[in-house]
Amino acid sequence: MANNFGETTTADEAASFYANEIKGKIVLITGCTWGGLGAEAARAIAKHDPKLLILAGRKQEALDDTVQKIKEESLEANLRTLIIDLASLESVKKAAAEVNQYSEPIDVLINNSGIMATPYHTTIDGFEGQLGTNHLGPFVFTNLILPRILASGSRRIVNISSGFTCLSDVRFDDPFFKNGEAYNKWAAYGQSKTANVLFARELAKRYGSKGLVAFSLHPGVIQTNLARDVKPEEFQQPIYDAWGQEFDSSLVDYKNLGQGASTHIVAAFDPSIEKDSGSYLSSCKIANDSPFLKPYAKNDEDAKKLWTLSEKLVGQTFSQ
């Protein structure tokens, strides 16, 4: 199914195009606060008769607000909420247990939630905040509900990454920046976003024989609540990567919310890209040659190594 989508395609346009693929699907999206990419993707999907949309997030009142706003546009949409705080493994495990009690399988999981360029902090479990919230929480959640995904007909996982993967590889020997002593908030963000890409690659490799399809993607640079810890003027200043090189700001592709969420829809529902499982998307296209995607983010050995490190950090192994 070829599309002519690109940088300006909106989530509504993509969802309309894939209406037949959306119809009857059960979709779980994390990070569904209104005004963010997760809620925008959910809003667009809800218009095309999914069997069930599960909206996950930290605060019930924020999820209720999203439900109310989606219902204003799609009154008949079947919506369910799920509380999950990805910065707490206890919360992650509780949410996964709830999903595993559902009678329905999960056709599509969109790991959308995340934080960006935050001051140094640790999660409840002692992980550097960005790696803990953006990768280790989703890593545990995804693995714990994997049986529900493999039980479905679609078996698709989408990790929302970023173009800022180019700011850092995974620091296998020091993922927590010497417990903050060597902290660079942009490198820490880059590390966590590289981890999102490598996690999708390893999922595709490990479970491809069971029909699982996994992708990561760059949504573009969108003004959402993700950047709440970044002052607007910081984007006008040089951003330096983990090696002290200045980020090339001319590469930045600014988009509005609808344009940002469109690649979520393509990655989640386009049947023609299943053969490219493990790939990275940008502007609604497979983009493994993106200037943002450095060789370390395409390294299968690093993907395998990250899986092992993640299991060690969270104190849990996940067998195939």
Question: Which residues are part of the catalytic machinery?
Answer: 189
H-assigned helices in the chain: 11-17, 19-22, 37-46, 60-73, 89-100, 129-131, 137-150, 185-207, 257-269, 300-314
3 state SS of 176: coil
> Which tokens belong to 109?
């999981």
The Cα 85–Cα 137 span in angstroms is 8
The Cα 59–Cα 81 span in angstroms is 10
The Cα 87–Cα 264 span in angstroms is 23
**Beta pairing, strands 213-218 & 285-286:** unpaired
Q: Do the Cβ atoms of 115 and 134 come closer than 8 Å?
A: yes
Q: What are phi and psi of 130, to 5 degrees?
A: -75, -40
**Beta pairing, strands 285-286 & 280-282:** antiparallel
> Which tokens belong to 311?
């299991």
The Cα 176–Cα 309 span in angstroms is 12
| Cα 290 → chain centroid | 18
Q: Do the Cβ atoms of 91 and 98 come closer than 8 Å?
A: no
Beta bridge partners of 156: 108, 213
Residue-by-residue DSSP string for 39-63: HHHHHHHHTT--SEEEEEES-HHHH
Kindly report the CA angle at 116 between 316 and 33, in degrees rounded to 5?
Answer: 85
